[in-house]
Copies of this chain bind each other. A is one copy, B any other.
C-alpha cells in the first residue's frame, strides 16, 4: 500500500472541473423544475462555481457552454473568474439548439447548415483564444430517428470534413475532445455513438484530437473501465464527463448510482498513468431535483473518494496475485481498498489544505444559499436554453 503522504499529494493535485450549466436549471423533457437562487448569467454561474472550489479546494476551473455562456467580453469574464479564485476550463460547443439543426449539424444533408455548424465550432476556438482555454469539447447530437432517413456513411464523410476543419484551426497548445454517446436526442443512429467511432476519427486527425468518456453514454453492460484502460494505452484518453446513471443518460451525481464502478474507473486511470493534467476530470450532470451547489460539492467529493480508494490499492500485492493466477486473492486485494473508509483520510487532507473537514456542512453553514435565494430575484434563470 502506498504511503499516505503520497496519496494525499496525488489527491491534492487532482483537479475536477465543474460545468457552468450545472448551476442553472435542468430537467427532463417532461418538466424543468425551477429552483430558488439559480444564476441568471455566466457571471453568477462562475460565482457559484467558485463556492465549490472554496469548500473542496480541488475544483479550480469551470467549463463554459457556448452559446449558453455567451458574453460580449470573454476577457472580462475570465478576469471575473480569476477574481473569484477560479479559471475558465473547457469550451463546450453547442450545435443542437437551433431550429436549423433538426436533422443534424455538421452531418446535416444541407451544406448550408453544415457550414453554419462548423462556423460555430470555429467561433468556439476564438473563444478559447480569448479566455485562454486549451480544450474544446465537441458533442454532436447528430443522428437520425428512422431507418432510411439519411445515409449513415455520407454522414461520416461530412463529420470527418468538419472535424478536419476544426482540427486545422487549433492553436499549438489547444486540443479538442470528441464525445460519443449511444443515443439521445437521436433515436435510431447517432453519428458518434461509441468510443470506437470517436477513436477512429481522432487517430486519423492527430495528437490534438482525443476522446472524452462521458460515463453515462454507454449501452447497458458496457465495461467503461476497459475503455478507459484501452484509450490510455493508446494515448487517446482526453478526459471524462463524469456523472452516473441507472438507466440511460440519467446525469445523476457521479458515484451515486454505482460507486464501485467509479472506483474501477479511477483505478484504471491510476494504473494507466492518467492521474495527471493531460486527462481532464470534468463533471457533466443535471441536478434536476437536488440543490445545485451542494450537488456539485458532493460530486467532487465522490470523485475524490473513488480516487483515494484507487490510490490505496496495493499494486504490488495485486500484481503478485494476478501473476499467480490467484483469482480470489487478486480480487481481495482490489476489494480491500474499495472497502476502506477513506473519508477520514480526505478530512485530514482538507484540514491540511486549510479547508473545513466537511465541505457539505461548511457550505450549508455559510449562508450562501440563503443569500443567493434572497438576492437573485427577477430576471431569467439560466437553464439549458440560456
How far is the CB of A203 from the nearest CB of chain B, in Å? 8
| A13 part of interface (Cβ distance < 8 Å) | no
Among A97, A156, A230, A261, chain B packs the most CB atoms within 10 A around the CB of A230
| A67 part of interface (Cβ distance < 8 Å) | no
Q: Which of A176-190 contact B (CB under 8 A)?
A: 182-185, 187-190
| A174 part of interface (Cβ distance < 8 Å) | no
Among A221, A229, A294, chain B packs the most CB atoms within 10 A around the CB of A221
Q: In the complex, what residues of B have CB within 8 A of residue A334's CB?
A: 147-148
| A39 part of interface (Cβ distance < 8 Å) | no
Q: In the complex, what residues of B have CB within 8 A of residue A291's CB?
A: 328
| A268 part of interface (Cβ distance < 8 Å) | yes
How far is the CB of A304 from the nearest CB of chain B, in Å? 13
User: Are B99 and A33 in touch, CB under 8 angstroms?
Assistant: yes
Count of chain A residues with a beta carbon within 8 Å of a chain B beta carbon: 105
User: Are B97 and A30 in touch, CB under 8 angstroms?
Assistant: yes
A260 to B264 alpha-carbon distance, docked (Å):
13
Q: Which of B30, B109, B259, B271 contacts A96 (CB 8 A)?
A: B30
| A367 part of interface (Cβ distance < 8 Å) | no
- A152-B268 contact, Cβ under 8 Å, with A146-B290, A226-B193: yes
| A258 part of interface (Cβ distance < 8 Å) | yes
Q: Which of B150, B232, B327 contacts A153 (CB 8 A)?
A: B232
User: Are B256 and A258 in touch, CB under 8 angstroms?
Assistant: no
User: Are A31 and B271 in touch, CB under 8 angstroms?
Assistant: no
Q: Which of B148, B220, B260 contacts A258 (CB 8 A)?
A: B260
- A153-B233 contact, Cβ under 8 Å, with A29-B28, A146-B252, A248-B184: yes
| A141 part of interface (Cβ distance < 8 Å) | yes
Q: In the complex, what residues of B have CB within 8 A of residue A194's CB?
A: 194-196, 222
| A199 part of interface (Cβ distance < 8 Å) | yes
Known: A145-B250, A221-B247, A294-B328. 16 other contacts (CB 8 A): A28-B29, A30-B141, A146-B256, A146-B330, A149-B331, A153-B233, A153-B268, A183-B248, A194-B194, A194-B195, A196-B199, A196-B227, A200-B230, A219-B219, A220-B220, A291-B328
26 contacts between A and B (CB under 8 A): A30-B96, A30-B185, A31-B97, A31-B185, A102-B289, A103-B289, A145-B288, A146-B256, A147-B264, A147-B335, A148-B313, A151-B319, A151-B322, A152-B271, A153-B271, A156-B230, A182-B221, A184-B248, A188-B252, A194-B195, A196-B196, A218-B219, A247-B248, A256-B331, A258-B261, A290-B328
